[in-house]
Structure 1
Amino acid sequence: MNNRTTRALRRSGALCAGLAALAACGAGGGSVSSTGRGPITYVAGADNTGTVQAILDRWNKLHPKERVTFVQLPTDADAQRQQMIQNAAIRSDAFTVLSLDVVWTSEFAAHRWVDRLPEDRFPLDEMLTPIVATGMYRGGLYSVPASSDGGMLYYRTDLLEQAGIDRPPVTWAELKADCAKVRKLPAAKGVSCYAGQFQKYEGLTVNFAEAVNSAGGVVTDAEGRPHLDTPQARKGLDFLVRSFKDGTIPKEAATYQEEDARRAFQSGKLVFERQWPYMYPLVNKKDGASRVAGKFAVAPLPGLSGPGASSLGGHNLALSASARNKATALDFIRFFTSQDTQRFSLAYAPAAPTYKALYADPRLVKKYPYLPVLKQSILHAVPRPRVFGYGDVTAAVQREAFAALTGAESSASALRNLQRDLQELAAGK
């Protein structure tokens, strides 16, 4: 076993190391007790929109003896996960309801850090099917979808029209051809073609997985086995690597997280950008902060030979196995994940609802024109690796993908290394 894998496993502190030990880990925590009422906490990343507190205020007004306190964790997803794991490791009751990234469900359930939830208490049949699947582990429900997310292609309608292009690109080849036409325009002087999120963090795992999936490959299969040393994975990573080399993607995009990419598009520096729906109203503000307000639209992500596949994002609510007042917590999860609450939260900030009906609401579509495209993105999205050692897997993906994008390794070498590392993690070596 190489040193990198050894260090990764030590960092994880997993109770069961690797996918081979899933059976030994069991099926997660027990079902929720119907007893125990009183104050609880809601634990999530910092909320910059005020939406979460507004929802908690509604609950607290209705339940003054069962108030919910918002425990805000860092905005960085890795830091959130680590603090939740530390709380679970010491069996603290400080955290009650956890807001989990959708890819954490398997890990938290397998380690018995969260309780199994009663499916009949939630209207799961009213939600989009791929979203519901993110809360399931070994046939049981361990987290309830509160929000989803899907990547979309933002594009400059004004520049495409000036270049005589009447629709957004469907393939990577079309994207590059469209860019070549647009960049000949005087209005496009100094404008780069395309960017996503390519800094070495979770966003790189998302963008890498989308490239592999959009070329017909997979990072891991349904059983968590890696499939990276393949022609499809190579074509996906090669698209990104060659795009950095030929200038389709500007070199500075290797430092981009979501907000960096948003600012680049908003200031008129990009023709195309891969981004989440939260960006739409920010870029469309008419207060002078955006140079492209009213001059852009969204489309599905392009792929190798047709429309691509987004990574499936979002957050689900789970119940800490070591929490108190679980009856209150269960009621709160139902409240927070309800269609009424999601409709309420859309008044505060853009989001990706989990309920089918909200995507068809004419008033919401008028306010958030991205909703029809987002729905298709979610329905065709591919989950990131659903493994309980996700922290180690994403760290390996980030390391090898970044090495390829920056020229430290070839695509072939990076994928071989990644295949080996993920196989060792799956085997618990």
Structure 2
Amino acid sequence: MKFLKASCCALAMATALALSSPVKAEDWSLAKAAEPFKGETINVIFLDRPGYRAIIKLLPQFEKETGIKVNYEIVPYENTREKEVLNFSSQGDLTVALVDLVWVGEFAENGWIVPVDHFTSDPSITDPKLDLKGFFPLLLDAFGTWGGTVYGLPFDNYSGLLFYNKCMLKDAGFDKPPATWDELLKTYAPKLTNKEKGTYAYVLQSRRGETQSADSFMRFLWPFGGSLLNKEFKSNLSSKESLDGLNFRQALAPYMPPGYVSFDHAEAVNALAQGQAAMLTEWSAFYSTLTDPKTSKIGDCLAVAPEPAGAAGRLPALGGFSLAVASQAPEEQQKAAWLFIQWATSDAIAKDYVEAGGVSGRTKVYEDPEIKAKYQFVEPLVQSWQKGVAVFRPRFPAWPAISEIIGEWGSKMQLGEVSVEQGAKEIGSRMEDVLQKEGYYDGKKKLLQ
């Protein structure tokens, strides 16, 4: 199953939930709904990324209106899943779960998060304007839905985009960005790379860990027709298409800054921001970083386009999170958390959220003429979410273990410690061992979700 589309189940549920509340919109308010929960404190983990800094800016508005305190801890992404799992396993104090799209299966199957319909059945705490159909269907399905049940609402949503320095491209004789990966490598890269001046055509975040597995390794499978797994859930990494993509990644290395294999998002974004690299494929959420004069020198030279197309077409990355209510929390805190999640992902604050640096999962905000005119990322972002996006990372509970394998051997490939072919075989065999132990080959677990 190569592409993730919004499932019929999720859409049907979204429709039912959107219409389930008998309360009239004019009779419901966030302040009134929150009255029983004044003084409650809810706990949530945030990341040190633009979307979270944006919601933090807006938090005083929620706390003033509701009397509910939001206690947040900023944690590196690499430590977030482990920290949350330990908290859930020990019946800790988290009230709101931050759920990466590849964690939703694990969190749902372990009963750590509460289905949304548990709360939408209570009109006193559910905004009649919630409108789940107002989210991009792809996002609601990918980030918040498991087995046809909605668990969380999309928050901090990403699409892979091509950010580029149009001034550097113009100086090299180009009046538009490359449309294909092949064009980027063969035509653009040689003219945009000057090692004596320390300038390079392209930069790829590749640090060992989830950055290597999700942002580097997987990015070059789908556009070339490859995939991590075949329909039997066996490794597909030794297929011609997968090897074509991984070998292409190796071919880009001479046109990237030295040490790029150790670059995380911050270093890769900074390479474009400081004029070291001319092009970067990165999540839409980093647009605010690249347009901030405090962190970026690129200024008016910044431009945004869809990711280049490969032999299999234009298949940009999809990433993001949902916010879900933690089942371990006491009932009153769960209800307070549900009010916060609705507010944080609502149409009502979507424009303020985008203007503060976040990327909303709501469709309506991107129809706003001011937003469309002000933010270059809107058009390619909406295009990718409307047409469907390849899900690079399988959404099953075994992903974290597989990610570690890819992180190790994918890095070895880039560093030349093993060949692409050898690395693909190592990842494939180790990945199948994990899936075998997890019960995916004996019918204990569903193969595809």
Shorter-chain TM range is 0.7 to 0.9
Structure 1 residues 164 and 308: alpha-carbon distance in aligned structure 2, compared to 1, 3 A threshold:
same
Q: 1:83: which partner in 2?
A: 83
Q: 2:188: which partner in 1?
A: 178
1:361 aligns with 2:365: no
Cα distance in 2, alignment partners of residues 422 and 174 from structure 1: 33
Q: 2:248: which partner in 1?
A: 239
Cα distance in 2, alignment partners of residues 46 and 123 from structure 1: 27
Q: 1:312: which partner in 2?
A: 318
1:152 aligns with 2:155: no
SS state at 1:229 partner: coil
Q: Return the offset for 1:175.
A: 0.4
SS state at 2:43 partner: strand
1:261 aligns with 2:268: yes
Q: 1:43: which partner in 2?
A: 44
What is the Cα-based RMSD across aligned positions, in Å?
2.6
Cα distance in 1, alignment partners of residues 320 and 366 from structure 2: 16
Q: Return the offset for 1:352.
A: 2.2
Q: Return the offset for 1:113.
A: 1.2
Instruction: Tell me the amino acid that sits aligned with residue 239 of structure 1.
Output: F
Cα distance in 2, alignment partners of residues 290 and 88 from structure 1: 39
Cα distance in 2, alignment partners of residues 42 and 375 from structure 1: 32
1:190 aligns with 2:178: no
Instruction: Tell me the amino acid that sits aligned with residue 334 of structure 1.
Output: Q
Q: 1:69: which partner in 2?
A: 70
TM-score for both structures, normalised by structure 2: 0.79
Q: 1:297: which partner in 2?
A: 303
Instruction: Tell me the amino acid that sits aligned with residue 88 of structure 2.
Output: A
Structure 1 residues 282 and 48: alpha-carbon distance in aligned structure 2, compared to 1, 3 A threshold:
closer
Structure 1 residues 63 and 281: alpha-carbon distance in aligned structure 2, compared to 1, 3 A threshold:
closer
Cα distance in 2, alignment partners of residues 158 and 425 from structure 1: 47
Q: Return the offset for 1:398.
A: 0.8
Unaligned 5+ runs, structure 2: 1-32, 121-125, 439-449
Structure 1 residues 290 and 112: alpha-carbon distance in aligned structure 2, compared to 1, 3 A threshold:
closer
Q: Return the offset for 1:307.
A: 4.8
Cα distance in 1, alignment partners of residues 312 and 173 from structure 2: 21
SS state at 2:139 partner: helix
Q: 1:204: which partner in 2?
A: 212
Structure 1 residues 303 and 249: alpha-carbon distance in aligned structure 2, compared to 1, 3 A threshold:
farther
Structure 1 residues 269 and 393: alpha-carbon distance in aligned structure 2, compared to 1, 3 A threshold:
same
- Mapping of residues 271-420 of structure 1, within 5 Å: 271-286=278-293, 290-305=296-311, 307-324=313-330, 325=332, 326-349=334-357, 351-379=358-386, 380-383=388-391, 384-420=393-429
Q: Return the offset for 1:46.
A: 4.3
Q: 1:58: which partner in 2?
A: 61
CA contact (8 A) 2:203 2:268 kept: yes
CA contact (8 A) 2:160 2:307 kept: yes
SS state at 2:42 partner: strand
Residues 59-80 of structure 1, C-alpha deviations (whole Å, 9 max, x = no match): 221222xx13323141x22311
Instruction: Tell me the amino acid that sits aligned with residue 46 of structure 2.
Output: G
Cα distance in 2, alignment partners of residues 224 and 111 from structure 1: 22
Unaligned 5+ runs, structure 1: 1-33
Q: 2:443: which partner in 1?
A: none
Structure 1 residues 356 and 225: alpha-carbon distance in aligned structure 2, compared to 1, 3 A threshold:
farther
SS state at 1:151 partner: strand
CA contact (8 A) 1:152 1:377 kept: no
CA contact (8 A) 1:99 1:317 kept: yes
CA contact (8 A) 1:310 1:378 kept: no
Cα distance in 2, alignment partners of residues 234 and 300 from structure 1: 23
